[in-house]
Amino acid sequence: MKKINIIKTFGYILIDFLLINASFILTDILLNTTRYKKYTESYLMISIIFLISFVLFKIYKNVWHYASIDEFLKGIIANITAYIFSNMYLYFFNPRIHWKVFIINTIFIVMFTLGFKLSFRIIKQVESKYIKSKIKYKENVLIVGAGSAGTLLLREIKQNLFLNYNIIGFIDDDRRKIGHYIAGVKVLGDRNSIPNIVELKKIDLIIIAIPSLNNKNKVELINICKNTGCKVKILPDFEEMIRDDKALLKNLRDIKIEDLLRRDPINLDLKGIEEYITNKKVLVTGGGGSIGSELCRQISKFNPLELIILDINENAVYELEHELKFKYPNLNIKVIIASIRDKNRLDKIFNSLRPDIVFHAAAHKHVPLMENNPAEAVKNNIFGTLNLVECSDKYKVEKFVMISTDKAVNPTNIMGATKRVCEMIVQAYDKKSETEFVAVRFGNVLGSNGSVIPLFMKQIKNGGPVTVTHKDITRYFMTIPEACQLVMQAASFAKGGEIFVLDMGEPVKIYDLACDLIRLSGYEPNKDIEIKITGLRPGEKLYEELSLAEEGLTKTKNNKIFVAKPLEIDYNQLKQKLDELHLAAQYDDAAFIRNQLREIVTTYKSYLEVAVDC
């Protein structure tokens, strides 16, 4: 391949040499320059100057089939440079040459050499149009956004010979652009014109190509486009595209439910995160789960000395390990298969690996399942956390960050009550340890294992019905990457003993969420796909809360992170109650477990009690 490239380069140099000399001959004919004998004797030297300039400006390294204005300008600069140095040569060796002769000669050189190279681009364009004309079925496409991203996307579509897209026009809210052409495609109107243009031009697909769009405008645009009945694709925001590192066309994706959440972008203090993660040994429990695996991805960006991924599920961490090794080949990864319930195993792991930071994301989290298996919830969530806390204290971990949930606030289910006990353990232990123990509390994350979104999508795929437990039930939502970024940021603010609460935005009606997902799938709710109300499940609340009344919330440096006021918790009293709870769990006595949980978490009421109160 290298040999072929060298032969090609020498071929192009030879052609340029002939074209430069052809320009001399044409100048001779037009201006009778043969009377300047020394000028004709300088042909060879001037040709060499031009060729050296072309080589130095890497003109022969460009792929001229896809040349843009950048390559064209580079060609012009290379010619101007050669012109200056040729003038200097003639000034010293042939000062009698008239300036007009050499200017005209240089114009011919530019026209011939650049014209030859741009001919590749023209041939490619003609070839592309010919091939695309042979494609029988084409989708009529409307691009929303006539800015940089939209223009680049148009260029990529044109260069893709086998893509069956027929670009009909642009949509842009900048009135100055409407009626004008960009790369041969007309700007047809603003967002309000979309329904009429779709009908008039028989549009099949709308592409939203404005990565910088704020959430309010994004939601409005998506709704306008979806209401036309067309397929809709979107270019994600710049952060997502940089993370995926793909061409614009490959970044094009269908509308996701995340796009309809009115969530503002996150501003992170990267330096603050970097200071406590870079060159540190970081342990993530539950590393194969939704939150744990994303934490591992985010942590990997900050060059930890070692990333220790601990999980009981070997398949999940196996996939994650391969993903991270491919993306971060220099990352030192250690995968540990272990249960957080096994204290002796954890002790050996901590003694051997000596982690500096622990992110604790391992937990049983499914509310109805834990309601029917309370002993398992207690053993895993509470005593698994206690094992980790004790090991972290014993082996001088710098920072311990526990992932909590909004279900821990005034819990009505076993899962929420166990997570509240975990928060209390973390806060109580912080007072007697050198380790900074903190918890981060947030609501539901979109797309996590077992969450409502994948369930709804499966039900829609099967033709319905989509099951919602109550028409008025609401939940807080955020994306998994957003939650993990804020967890890492909150940890950078930690001094010990805090419960950080993430700003989840406005609560979302699950019924409305089901309607949005059905529409995104191309159907009409309760027409094509039925929504069935099934009744609240055991332990399920109509709404969730993010903080206890007595905790209060104060702001941090990040407007999406708040800190709850630490409550006074006596560890010795807590430990005594935990011992009694441990006994109840060993006996697998559900009533005894619930009573002991009430002793520890005074705000805990079972869903049956809540139903009676109502």
Does residue 524 surpass a pLDDT of 90? no
In the chain, the domains with their CATH numbers are 2-131 (no CATH), 139-255 (3.40.50.720), 270-446+477-505+545-609 (3.40.50.720)
Distance CA 107, CA 237 (A): 45
Among 407, 419, 541, 560, the one annotated catalytic: 407
Alpha helices in 134-175 (DSSP H): 148-159
Q: 549 pLDDT exceeds 50?
A: no
Is there a catalytic annotation at residue 407?
A: yes
Quote the pLDDT of residue 480. Answer: 82
Amino acid making up residue 566: P
Give dist(CA 570, CA 432) in Å, integer: 10
332 to 122, 304, 307, 349: CA distances (angstroms) = 50, 8, 6, 16
> In this structure, what token pair is assigned to residue 416?
């929420």
pTM: 0.68
What is the per-residue DSSP string for 329-385? TT--EEEEE--TT-HHHHHHHHHHH--SEEEE------HHHHHH-HHHHIIIIIIHH
Nearest to 208 by CA among 140, 149, 138, 152: 149
pLDDT at 329: 92
Instruction: Please state the rounded mean pLDDT for residues 71-96.
Output: 80
Average pLDDT across the chain, whole number: 83
**The token pair that represents 535 in the structure block:** 């009744």
The residue that leads in pLDDT, 249 or 598, is: 598
End-to-end CA separation in angstroms for the chain:
77
334 touches 374 (CB < 8 A): no
Res. 323 pLDDT band, cuts 50 70 90:
very high
85 φ/ψ angles, rounded to the nearest 5 degrees? -70, -35
Rounded CA separation 460/150 (Å): 32
148: closest CA among 129, 163, 128, 170? 170
Residue 131 burial class via C-beta count within 10 angstroms: exposed 0-12, middle 13-18, buried 19 and up: exposed
Q: What are phi and psi of 67, to 5 degrees?
A: -60, 145
Please, which pLDDT band fits residue 267 given cuts at 50, 70 and 90?
Answer: low
Burial class (CB in 10 A: 0-12, 13-18, 19+), 399: buried
pLDDT in tens, 403-460: 998 888 888 899 999 999 999 999 999 988 999 999 998 877 776 666 777 788 888 8
Tell me the one-letter amino acid at 210: I
Under 8 Å between Cβ of 430 and 397 = no
In this prediction, residue 242 carries a pLDDT of 46
Distance CA 166, CA 209 (A): 16
d(CA 110, CA 79): 7
pLDDT in tens, 10-60: 888 888 888 888 887 887 777 765 555 555 667 788 888 888 888 888 888
